[in-house]
Structure 1
Amino acid sequence: MKVGIIAGGPEDLLPDLSAYVNDIDVWIGADRGAVVLLEKGLPIDYAIGDFDSIADPQRKSLETKAKVFRKYPSEKNETDLELAIIQAIELQPQSVYLFGATGGRLDHTLVNLQILLRFAEHDMDAAVVDRLNIVTLAQHGTHTIQNDRQYPYISFIPMTPTVTGLTLNNFYYPLTDQTITFGSTLCVSNKLTANCGTFSIDKGIVLIIKSRDA
């Protein structure tokens, strides 16, 4: 099973969601993200949030068209996106796509990227996707990475104070047993030199950001 979650980030940063329709089995709209599903005619399997900024006609449409509609108080400990993520984890999917989780408020963007750790704790693949970026997370071990012409640049950003033993093969700028730390720009804006490459980590956690220019 693959789950797609739409959060309430700026709509102009969303990728072409139609490209994911045949790949996603369950759609979850987090607050205004549910309105995006409604407006784009996509399935609304779950609509979750406080919906305090949603106009009454839209909210009533969501209540009617969503298979599951869950309204929470506006004052709560979790963000609407976190509530959607809790629901996604309960479904035990193979992988999860997060859309609308970047842009706008910087505090939201930063915490939404850190939320990838939640899925890693449950051994689930997850990606934050917007119009210019695909962000995933990797821990120790050797991993294969595919070349994507739509997102040609690849950066490795430490999510722990230190990442040791980072090795990159089939990259324009290869590395062998490198240590990177918070604030390092060594692994920003690399590229693959083949259809696929590998990277390995001895210890630590990194964000892998595939990106393209605007």
Structure 2
Amino acid sequence: MQQTQSCVVMAAGEYYDEPIALHEGDILIAADGGLDHARQAELEPDYVIGDFDSAQESERTVAAENDHVLVLPPQKDDPDLLSALKFGWSLGYRTFHIYGALGGRIDHTISALQITALVAQRGGTAILHGNRQHITALCDGSLTFEATDLTAITKHEPAYVSVFAHSDVAHDVTETGLKYGLEHAELSNQQVNGLSNELLNATSATVSVNEGTLLITYPAGIADPEHHVSHEFEGNLGDLDFSISAALRVH
């Protein structure tokens, strides 16, 4: 599989001892407290972005050590993770590998899932790295897992793939090459009937949706699935946010 240049983002959450995978042509962005994790991993980010409310180092120290620092105000609509992805998108990246966005505070985890779906709805790919699991989103397209010898990866445990509707309704969902097949089904975000399907050993598998957005989990250690979209997407992730919405009230 040809390696696609990616924007790797380090956030402030849990890391589960998974090594940060960087390939030639990738860039590394530390989102706020992700800078501390980058330093612990002896990695130097290409860019640092955030309001630094969760980083241990002061804004002045960070700015003095790195010319590529963007300091955001603490009161704004966007979380620092979304700001990092917006910045990466503005540099032309459409594939994002995100570490440290799962675990810890559940509200941050939910936010990361929402952001992953947003990237998919703009035609990009975001992959969240968690505790032996990865999470991605798929909008109007398909993703294919290549055939893999799973015995050494899963240690004889099932290689679970779970599929959830993120949009109100996901139309024409099909799953092939998995233990349980699904053909032209309709899923809603009030159903959980896509939980705990399984990859089959040495068998390729595909998940597709004709219209709608899915959240999909799969085991870490296997190759990331290939994403294919069924049409051109419009829009982007938006401009960097430096303020709060007029409808919000700060006390």
State the TM bucket, normalised to the shorter chain: 0.7 to 0.9
Amino acid at match of 2:19: D
Partner of 1:109: 109
Partner of 1:183: 190
Preserved contact between residue 117 and residue 166 of structure 2 (Cα < 8 Å): no
Change (3 A) 1:38 1:162: same
Partner of 1:46: 47
Partner of 1:201: 209
Change (3 A) 1:97 1:72: same
Amino acid at match of 2:119: F
Change (3 A) 1:177 1:52: closer
Provide Cα deviations, 1:155-191, integer angstroms capped at 9, x if missing partner: 0010012222222111111111222222323211111
Preserved contact between residue 116 and residue 137 of structure 2 (Cα < 8 Å): yes
Q: Does 1:72 align with 2:79?
A: no
Amino acid at match of 1:71: V
Work out the CA distance in 2 between the residues paired with 1:107 and 1:53: 15
Change (3 A) 1:57 1:90: closer
Partner of 1:37: 38
**1:1-214 → structure 2 map (5 Å cutoff):** 1-11=5-15, 13=16, 15-17=18-20, 20-22=21-23, 25-56=26-57, 60=61, 62-146=62-146, 149=150, 150=153, 152-193=159-200, 194-211=202-219
Work out the CA distance in 2 between the residues paired with 1:14 and 1:167: 34
Provide Cα deviations, 1:100-136, integer angstroms capped at 9, x if missing partner: 1111121111111111233224422221112322111
Work out the CA distance in 1 between the residues paired with 2:76 and 2:18: 30
Counterpart secondary structure, 2:82: helix
Amino acid at match of 2:9: I
Work out the CA distance in 2 between the residues paired with 1:47 and 1:134: 24
Work out the CA distance in 1 between the residues paired with 2:169 and 2:77: 30
Q: Could you list the runs of 4 or more consecutive aligned residues of structure 1 that deviate by over 6 angstroms after TM superposition?
A: none
Amino acid at match of 2:181: P
Change (3 A) 1:57 1:125: closer
Q: C-alpha displacement at 1:196, in angstroms?
A: 1.2
Q: C-alpha displacement at 1:7, in angstroms?
A: 0.8
Work out the CA distance in 1 between the residues paired with 2:25 and 2:89: 15
Q: Which moved more, 1:100-109 or 1:135-144?
A: 135-144
Compute the TM-score of the two structures, normalised by the length of structure 2: 0.74
Work out the CA distance in 2 between the residues paired with 1:190 and 1:165: 18
Amino acid at match of 2:160: Y
Work out the number of aligned pairs and report it.
208
Preserved contact between residue 170 and residue 211 of structure 2 (Cα < 8 Å): yes
Amino acid at match of 1:185: V
Preserved contact between residue 34 and residue 55 of structure 2 (Cα < 8 Å): no
Unaligned runs of 5+ in 1: none
Q: Which moved more, 1:179-188 or 1:127-136?
A: 179-188
Counterpart secondary structure, 1:140: strand
Give the structure with the larger helix fraction: 1
